[in-house]
Structure 1
Amino acid sequence: MQEELIKKLSKTYEPSSMIDMRFREKDIAFKTDEKGNPIFLFIGKRGEDGNIKGERYARTLKYDNNGNKIKDHWEMKGKAS
């Protein structure tokens, strides 16, 4: 993923919600966890049915016992349709 997109996805958004926006020439949608961190990402072109056709990603976030982030990794999970 592009550094600029990673930076946008590192922000905190409304908890437990689906956020839709544009990133450059692509449509993106992501689901946030209970803390407002994006955890699922769909990126591509939005069709007439409202769904994004393109790629989907999942984020792994792990914290230590003190609440410090020890792992933050996005992994491509395949096609989004």
Structure 2
Amino acid sequence: MKLGPQLITLLNKRYEPSSTIETVFNKYDLTFKTDDQGRPILAFIGNKGPNGIIKGERFARRIVTDQTGQVIKDHWDNKGKS
């Protein structure tokens, strides 16, 4: 599974820092964790089971910044099944 442009747009927004956000995207359940600046860094997308755990794919975000805080590299890696 790849992250499409609509999902990337949703994940590029800023949210509450250091929190876990649960939402629905199209027909999938989506849970993501944010860093101390409110950027999503870990995402789980799939179908939520009766115990609340998402079975699907896990994605991790790689953000590289320079000393002034400018983003040099920003991409999502598929880490496999969750």
Q: What range is the shorter-chain TM-score in?
A: over 0.9
Deviations 1:42-74 (A, max 9, x none): 000000000100000000011111111111110
Instruction: Give the ranges of 4+ consecutive aligned residues of structure 1 lying more than 3 Å apart after TM superposition.
Output: none
Q: Percent identity?
A: 51
Write the letter of the residue equivalent to 1:40.
L
Aligned partner (choices 53, 57, 60) of residue 59 of structure 2: 57
Q: Which runs of 5 or more residues in structure 2 are unaligned? A: none
Stretch deviating more after TM superposition (60-69 or 20-29): 60-69
Write the letter of the residue equivalent to 1:38.
P
- Give the aligned partner of residue 11 of structure 1: 13
Q: Which runs of 5 or more residues in structure 1 are unaligned? A: none
Q: TM-score, normalised by structure 2?
A: 0.95
For residues 74 and 55 of structure 1, what CA distance do their matches in structure 2 show?
Answer: 12
For residues 69 and 59 of structure 2, what CA distance do their matches in structure 1 show?
Answer: 24
Residues 1:23 and 2:35 are matched in the alignment: no
- Give the aligned partner of residue 72 of structure 2: 70
For residues 34 and 66 of structure 1, what CA distance do their matches in structure 2 show?
Answer: 17
Deviations 1:11-49 (A, max 9, x none): 000100110000011000000000000000000000000
Q: TM-score, normalised by structure 1?
A: 0.96
**Root mean square deviation, CA, Å:** 0.5
